[in-house]
Amino acid sequence: MRQVNLGLIGGGTVGGGVLKALERNGVLMASRLGVEFRVARVAVRDLKKKRTVKLSRKVLTTSWEDVVNDPAVEVVIEMMGGTTTARKVVLVALRLGKPVVTANKALISKYGEELFEAAEKHGANLYYEASVAGGIPIIKVLREGLIGNRVTRLYGILNGTCNYILTRMKREGKDFPEILDDAQRLGYAEAEPSLDVDGYDALHKAGILASLAHGFWVNPDEAYLEGIRGITQLDIQFAEQLGYTIKLLGIVKKHENGGDKCAPIELSVCPTLVPNTHVLASVNDVFNAVLVRGDVVGDTLYYGRGAGQDATASAVLSDLADAALDLKCDSKNRVPPFVPHEREGAVVEPGETVSPYYVRLSVVDRPGTLAQIATILGKAKIGISSVIQPEGHEGESVPLILMIHDAPMADLEQALGKITKLGVIKGQPVMFRVENFE
Ligand code: NAP
Ligand code: HSE
């Protein structure tokens, strides 16, 4: 049987998970693929650290160069994280013509264009299934399964840590710092928690999916980004009263203006009110889900664990199978890593994004307050679809919840700026997008 020698850089949560999964299902994979995997080299930072999978000292090294440059290593698996050294690792391996498997969404998001060019130039494939949505094979879906479709909408719950925190906040009425500790302990969160809770991780993933779906390299810096730190129990409870659940949602929409080809796309990652009747509202805990709408297929939905050792290892094994089959069949780049197919693509300015919104104001409970607010919104041509002012709130100010009809984000922000200056308003307004999945 053909043997494929693997070189891993990183043996932490994900790298360790890959080693464990290979121990568990390596024989099964060999019987399915006709290829046997052998772990030839593994680089880690600390040789003395206790590992769940026993590796001989001959296999272990602290130098990633030892792994990548080892002539025996045929597939390089980058599981170290970060972007500086990881970029070097991937480029050196690709230049040597070695296929690379990575779970590193920050790396693909930041240097993807350069890495895919290098892969093409050197005829070596770059596999990144584990970089988006953990165990869900969403990269394969977009690259292969839905190849005959134009993607018109893509909605994703893409960060397991945020979804875990929001689920427990809603279920247990707790605030988010307390739950973040648990997510870190369970190995879901990134080493730097800001990557998760401030939405960067979800944006990296949404940007990769947007690029794949729309065929041009989408710069995530052009997207609208907001994390989950600003979500309070008050908003979770008001959203529930209105029939919604707050999720951190990645949204990729193809606009219809300008004809099909040159229409821009919208890319945002932000807390979003999802109707409780929609399937994405019931995606809970560390689970991710991606809804992809294709012009031929209609709506399709993918669901699975979005973070954690085993889910991510499963995605890496899928990439290893593809890499091994390419080697076995001598069919380099059978499925190219990323093929730009739109000559020009553009991302809509975040302020121009049109959507319904949830707005919470803190107001002085006195006659005429609502009229003053409605006048400013009316002048800005922003319509109110419903208002709630709960009874029984004590103190100087009370919450006032406005559900806003479709409005451009910049117009709403400007109107809220004026509303904040009214004498009857206390504190800063809160606004969240509402998505009806049309
Ligand atoms: P981790 O637990 O911190 O593991 C990192 C590993 O890389 C460790 O084994 C570390 O060695 C090794 N390492 C770091 N710098 C090194 C260097 N310069 N030379 C050699 N080895 C080095 O991180 P992780 O959670 O597994 O994440 C790895 C990647 O997977 C990241 O890109 C992350 O975004 C991605 N990812 C993670 C998850 C998840 O649920 N955790 C899910 C999907 C994708 P030591 O063990 O000796 O410290
Ligand atoms: N920290 C990430 C998450 C890991 O919570 O989704 C998976 O990419």
Residue 264 in contact with residue 348, Cβ under 8 Å? yes
Distance CA 363, CA 399 (A): 6
Which H or E element spans position 371?
Answer: helix 369-379
Q: Look at the block and give the residue holding tokens 């294709």.
A: 294
Distance CA 181, CA 171 (A): 17
98 a catalytic residue: no
pLDDT of 192 reads 84
Closest C-alpha residue for ligand 2 atom 1: 189
How many whole angstroms from 190 Cα to the centroid of ligand 1?
Answer: 9
| Residue 327 exposure: Cα atoms within 13 Å on the Cβ side | 25
Written as one string, the DSSP assignment of 422-435 is STTEEEEEEEEEE-
Q: Report helix, strand or coil for 2.
A: strand
Distance CA 386, CA 277 (A): 19
Q: What is the pLDDT of residues 297-318, one digit of tens each?
A: 999 999 999 989 999 999 999 9
Residue 207's Cα: distance from chain center in Å? 8
Of 288, 286, 313, which is closest to residue 182 (Cα–Cα)? 286
Residue ranges of the chain with per-residue pLDDT less than 50: none
How many whole angstroms from 107 Cα to the centroid of ligand 2?
Answer: 14
Question: Closest ligand 2 atom, CA of 183?
Answer: 5
Q: Evaluate: CB of 404 within 6 angstroms of ligand 2.
A: no
Distance CA 154, CA 134 (A): 17
Q: Alpha helix locations (H) across 123-251?
A: 138-140, 160-172, 176-185, 193-197, 200-214, 233-241
pLDDT of 180 reads 83
Q: Report helix, strand or coil for 335.
A: coil
* Domains parsed from the chain with CATH numbers: 2-134+309-328 (3.40.50.720), 139-305 (3.30.360.10), 351-434 (3.30.70.260)
Quick count: other Cβ atoms within 10 Å of Cβ 411?
16
Residue 284 in contact with residue 163, Cβ under 8 Å? yes
pLDDT of 280 reads 98
Of 225, 245, 226, 227, which is closest to residue 235 (Cα–Cα)? 245
Distance CA 335, CA 320 (A): 13
Q: Residue length, the chain?
A: 438
Written as one string, the DSSP assignment of 60-112 is EES-HHHHHH-TT--EEEE-S-SSHHHHHHHHHHHHTT--EEE--HHHHHHHH
Q: Report helix, strand or coil for 384.
A: strand
Written as one string, the DSSP assignment of 291-324 is EEEETTTEEEEEEEE-SSHHHHHHHHHHHHHHHH
Q: Report helix, strand or coil for 216.
A: coil
Distance CA 161, CA 188 (A): 6
Q: Evaluate: CB of 307 within 6 angstroms of ligand 2.
A: yes
Q: Evaluate: CB of 350 within 6 angstroms of ligand 1.
A: no
pLDDT of 392 reads 65
How many whole angstroms from 396 Cα to the centroid of ligand 2?
Answer: 41
**Strands ordered across the beta sheet of 126-127:** 60-61, 35-43, 2-9, 75-78, 100-102, 126-127
Ligand 1 mutation target, pool 42, 44, 84, 186, most atoms within 8 A of CB: 44
How many whole angstroms from 163 Cα to the centroid of ligand 2?
Answer: 10
Distance CA 214, CA 39 (A): 36
Residue 381 in contact with residue 405, Cβ under 8 Å? no
Distance CA 122, CA 99 (A): 10
Ligand 2 mutation target, pool 158, 195, 201, 305, most atoms within 8 A of CB: 201
pTM attached to this predicted model? 0.95
Distance CA 409, CA 400 (A): 20
Q: What is the pLDDT of residues 248-281, one digit of tens each?
A: 999 999 987 655 556 899 999 999 999 999 999 9
Q: Look at the block and give the residue holding tokens 């009316």.
A: 378
Q: Evaluate: CB of 48 within 6 angstroms of ligand 1.
A: no
pLDDT of 256 reads 77
Distance CA 235, CA 175 (A): 12
pLDDT of 261 reads 59
